[in-house]
Amino acid sequence: MSRVYGAVNQTLGPGWYDYEKLHIEWNVPDRYEIVRRVGGGKYSEVFEGVDMSNEDKCIIKVLKPVSKKKIKREVKILRNLTGGPNIISLLDVVQDGPSRSNSLIMEYVDNTEWRELFPTLTEPEMKHYLFQLLKALDFVHSRGIMHRDVKPANVMYDRARGKLRLIDWGLAEFYHPNDEYHIRVGSRYYKGPELLVGFKKYDYSLDLWSVGCMLASMIFRKEHFFRGRDNEDQLLRILKVLGTDSFERYLEKYGLFIQTDNRALLQSYPKVPFSAFGSPTISREALDLLDKLLRYDHWERLTAAEAVGHTYFNNVRLETTSKSTERFSDSGFCST
């Protein structure tokens, strides 16, 4: 059972979470024109486009053939969350006649690619970025949803405007206490220990591990903090940093066993303090936040709301309180 927001879906009811019952009315795609390809992956091809009815830029996410159920889940979750703080807006859903391909029309973000962004972020920018990401996560968790694929490529950031949007709801899922979930989610370098040891009753706290990995890669200027060659190696990388004492306590607490022939996974490793990974200029607050996010035991990790309240963000919180009225009036909804 999650430490927070455990009963949300039960309270909101099936109309909120039962995505299989969703009937999607697909519109015709005629008003949208493709401008250029901006990305894509296993599940989609993504284009920058224009809405010819008003000349607005938009994003056209053409879904690759996946199950109807998965499409319904993504659309339901996007509809539930659209309008929330720092959540990408779903504007329309369209279907092409002959090819029957389905596309999601989304709000456009003038994104700076994270590989270019991260190495050049200033400290205030890091704080702003992470704060806005955590705000988004606290909101989605409070609505009973886990993202399950938090990573730099799924966070769009318009650097000039300081505008952040959490995208890619393709793996997101509703949280029901005691349900067992697939562990084949997320992207390797950002996968929480629960996914690597096969603990299926995970919850929102999975997303906070991924945030911890992002914080580490920002402050230590490493493209990926835990960079495993495969899932076993991923776990090994984590063990070599967090150490095996607390790992053993974690396995014992949840009655978990790891079955492996990989001798390296069965050895003991000491915990390496996070201060050993970067320059002494990294603040104590940043290292403390990192330590409270990168915990094997998801129950010990800070929640998104707790992380927002961490002293690392003290000055960001002050700024956003004084600016929030201004921002509210010029952006339609409050991004703070």
Q: How far is CA 329 from the centre of its chain?
A: 27
Kind plus residue range of the DSSP H or E element containing 33: strand 32-40
Structural element, H or E, at residue 285: helix 284-293
> Of 51, 96, 107, 319, which lies in the binding site for ligand ADP, with binding defined by CB under 6 A?
107
- What phi and psi, each to the nearest 5 degrees, are found at residue 233? -65, -30
Q: Which residue is nearest to ligand ADP (CB)?
A: 39
Active-site entry in 138, 149, 168, 203: 149
Give whichever of 154 and 303 is closer to Mg ion, judged by the CB atom: 154
Are residues 131 and 310 in contact, defined by beta-carbon separation less than 8 angstroms?
A: no
Q: How far is the CB of 292 from Mg ion (least distance, A)?
A: 27
- Buried/exposed code over 294-307 (b: 16+ C-beta within 10 A; e: otherwise): bbbbbeebbbbbbb
Residue 285 interacts, among Mg ion, ligand ADP, none and using kind-specific CB cut-offs from 5 to 8 Å, with: none
Least Cβ distance, residue 48 to ligand ADP (angstroms)? 7
Binding site partner of 61, from Mg ion, ligand ADP, none, Cβ cut-off 5-8 A by kind: ligand ADP
Query: Should residue 166 be labelled a site residue for ligand ADP when binding is judged by CB under 6 A?
Result: no
Examine the residue annotation and report whether 297 is marked as an active-site residue of this protein: no
Q: What is the dihedral of CA 50, 55, 56, 57, to 10 degrees?
A: 30
Is 292 marked as a binding-site residue? no
Distance, CA of 85 to CA of 248 (rounded, Å): 38
Taking CB atoms, the residue at the shortest distance from Mg ion is 168
- Assess contact for 144 and 177: CB atoms under 8 A: no
List of residues contacting Mg ion (CB under 5 A): 154, 168
Nearer to Mg ion, 74 or 168 (CB): 168
- The site string for ligand ADP over 225-264 (x = CB under 6 A, - otherwise) reads ----------------------------------------
Using the minimum distance from each CB to ligand ADP, give the nearer residue, 108 or 204. Answer: 108
**Ramachandran angles phi, psi of 88, nearest 5°:** -60, 140
By CB under 6 A, tell whether 83 contacts ligand ADP.
Answer: no
Measured from the CB atom, the residue of 88 and 134 that comes closer to Mg ion is 88
Nearest-angstrom CA–CA distance, 164 and 132: 7
Among 49, 61, 86, 185, binds ligand ADP (CB under 6 A): 61
Decide: residue 214, CB within 10 A, 0-12 exposed, 13-18 middle, 19+ buried.
buried
- Residue 108, classed as helix, strand or coil, is coil
- # binding residues, ligand ADP (CB under 6 A): 21
**Backbone φ, ψ for residue 192 (5° rounding):** -70, 160
| Residue 40 binding ligand ADP, by CB under 6 A | yes
- C-alpha of 287 from chain center: 21
- The alpha carbon of residue 254 and the mean position of all alpha carbons in its chain are separated, in whole angstroms, by 25
**289 is a contact residue toward ligand ADP (CB under 6 A):** no
Q: Which residues are annotated as a binding site for ATP?
A: 61
Sites of contact with ligand ADP (CB under 6 A): 38-41, 43-44, 46, 59, 61, 88, 106-109, 111, 153-154, 156, 167-168, 170
Binding residues: 61
Among all residues, which ones are annotated catalytic? 149
